[in-house]
Amino acid sequence: MLDVALTIPFWLELAAALTGGLSGAMSAVRARYDIFGVACIAIITGLAGGIMRDILLQNYGIYAFQKPTLIIACAIAGVVVFYFGKLATYLDPIVDLLDNLSVALWAVISVSKSLSAGLDIIPSIILGTITAVGGGILRDICMGAHMHGSAPKEGKIELIADCDGVLTIRRDGLKAVNSLGEMMIATRHGGFPVRKGDKLAGTRIIPLVIKKDKMAAAQEAAGPAPLLDVHPFGQKKAGVVTTGNEVFHGRIEDTFTPVIESKLSEYGAVMAMHTTLADDPAAITAAIQDMLDKGMDMVFCTGGMSVDPDDQTPLAIKNTGARIVSYGAPVLPGAMFLLAYSGDDRPIVGLPGCVMYAKRTIFDLVLPSLMADVPVTADDLAGLGEGGLCLGCPVCTFPNCGFGK
């Protein structure tokens, strides 16, 4: 054991707490926390590692509680960052620098205190490492992308959306965690749009006390990636190819295109290009390719999606060289739906006629994912079979119903 330990001045402790607090506050601002949340994250990130150290040493008491100046300094750092939060979005290198500086300072301080408490050099280094990274670990546990956790209430924590987007859920991981017992995670249904401020999930530990090993098992069961993600909607530009001899020659009115425009507008997307063509597969293929070449984020084709001899849209989409995900889906209305992706992964969609007249169809189930750049797979479409029957209720309450769930 070393006979001499470093004497750590208070200003160094203060610098370590402040750098950690500033780093945590900047991360909290980017996650859109309110002023109270930013201040709390600043205190947690700045001081949690030291508190963990003092609990493990069981020698000094909790130093942060003996020196309220440290708590006040971290809270002030959080408030300052909150009011200058717009700058934080441009200061990623500074956040990384503060993270590294905080880790280094806390490591030096904690190794010194451990040596002074009579620990050998190896345990002192281990304890210094725990102290240095503890605050960052707690901060990262508290915050996820595009969502935040509520304050605990009656043993329950809720997750709230920070932006408009589509919610995705790793169902295998969710089921694995809930199968362990003594804990629960309840979510809304994945694959549907959520708005900023919407409640996404609620979590709870069932008994009053739970073993640490059980929580470790839950982390392992969930896997390294988050169980829930909110994928923000993008500002999309869509091309629409209206097909059909009757519409092209003016024998019937095009009532399909206005429906698509209306549904796109629900997600802030616009129809930037539109053309009307006869049932000519070569012309349809050329129009799709032209829209992609001119920068459309996706292309929707209407008409010609059934199995009649003059319905040429599926062939035209295939002839673009696109990767066909599925022609057909276990959804009513919407069985003749076609989904493909271009070589650079832009969606090309063949919409059946039911989209024009039915209130809700396969289009309403898939469109949110397309608007958020979430890939839709053949397995995703096959999974829509259970819940894929729209009952056509006189008063439509979608998405607050069983359609698509």
Parallel, antiparallel or unpaired: strands 270-277 and 237-243:
parallel
Residue 143: predicted pLDDT = 38
Cβ atoms of 352 and 305 within 8 Å: the answer is: yes
Residue-wise pLDDT for 328-370, tens only, equals 999 999 999 999 999 999 999 999 999 999 999 999 999 999 9
Question: Residue 318 contacts by C-beta under 8 Å, 6 or more apart in sequence?
Answer: 324, 340
Residue-wise pLDDT for 234-250, tens only, equals 999 999 999 988 899 98
Residue 78: predicted pLDDT = 81
pLDDT at residue 61 above 60? Answer: no
Residue-wise pLDDT for 106-144, tens only, equals 555 555 655 555 556 665 555 555 444 433 333 332 334
Residue 221: predicted pLDDT = 81
pLDDT at residue 307 above 80? Answer: no
Residue 157: predicted pLDDT = 77
Looking at per-residue pLDDT, the higher value among 299 and 71 belongs to 299
Residue 48: predicted pLDDT = 64
pLDDT at residue 211 above 80? Answer: no
- Return the closest-CA partner of residue 271 out of 284, 262, 261: 261
pTM of the model as a whole:
0.65
Residue 6: predicted pLDDT = 46
Residue-wise pLDDT for 237-284, tens only, equals 999 999 988 899 989 999 999 999 999 999 999 999 999 999 999 999
CA–CA distances in Å: residue 336 to residues 307, 327, 328 = 9, 7, 5
Backbone angles phi, psi at 72, to 5 degrees: -65, -40
pLDDT at residue 389 above 70? Answer: yes
| DSSP code string of 327-345 | E--S-BS-TT-EEEE-TT-
Instruction: Please name the amino acid found at residue 316.
Output: A
Cis peptide before 399 (omega within 30 of 0): yes
CATH 2.30.30 applies to domain 148-230: no
Query: What percentage of the chain reaches a pLDDT higher than 90?
Result: 44
Give CA–CA dist 77/107, Å, rounded.
Answer: 21
> Any idea how long the chain is?
405
Domain boundaries, the chain: 10-143, 148-230, 237-385
What is the mean predicted confidence (pLDDT) over 93-103?
54
83 pLDDT tier (thresholds 50, 70, 90): confident
Which of 93-97, 251-255, 303-307, 317-321 has the lowest average pLDDT? Answer: 93-97
Count other Cβ atoms within 10 Å, centred on residue 68. 9
Instruction: Please name the amino acid found at residue 370.
Output: L
Cis peptide before 333 (omega within 30 of 0): yes
Q: What is the 8-class DSSP label of residue 263?
A: H
- Return the closest-CA partner of residue 348 out of 251, 238, 217: 238
| DSSP code string of 239-252 | EEEEE-HHHHTTSS
pLDDT at residue 209 above 80? Answer: no
The listed CATH number (3.40.980.10, 3.40.50.12780, 2.60.40.10, 3.40.50.10320) that belongs to domain 237-385: 3.40.980.10
Cβ atoms of 139 and 133 within 8 Å: the answer is: no
Residue 5: predicted pLDDT = 43
Instruction: Count CA within 13 A, CB hemisphere, residue 122.
Output: 0
